Amino acid sequence: MLITVATLKKGQKGIIKEFTSNLLPIKLLELGCLPGNEVELIQTAPLNDPLYINVNGSHIAIRKSLASQIELQLIEE
């Protein structure tokens, strides 16, 4: 099963493996959305879009469609 930021549940963490598209905004990369970095789902907006994530200490709001392009390796706690 493909695990992406969009499939995380609140509080779950993962390590970014790769991107399923080469069209990610440069701003996301500048904020630390890079392979090998840890991502945690902080909160989901009332209509499930956008998602609020923590990437290396930066809190970012991203659309679910964009989050589904960031493939993860889950961190089991």
Residue 5 pLDDT > 80, yes or no?
yes
pLDDT of residue 23: 77
Taking residues 50-74, what's their average pLDDT?
A: 93
pLDDT of residue 60: 92
pTM higher than 0.85:
yes
Torsion sign over Cα 39, 71, 36, 77: positive
- Report which of residues 42 and 19 the model is more confident about: 42
Superfamily holding 5-74:
Ferrous iron transport protein A (FeoA) (2.30.30.90)
pLDDT of residue 27: 84
Taking residues 43-63, what's their average pLDDT?
A: 92
Residue 24 pLDDT > 80, yes or no?
no
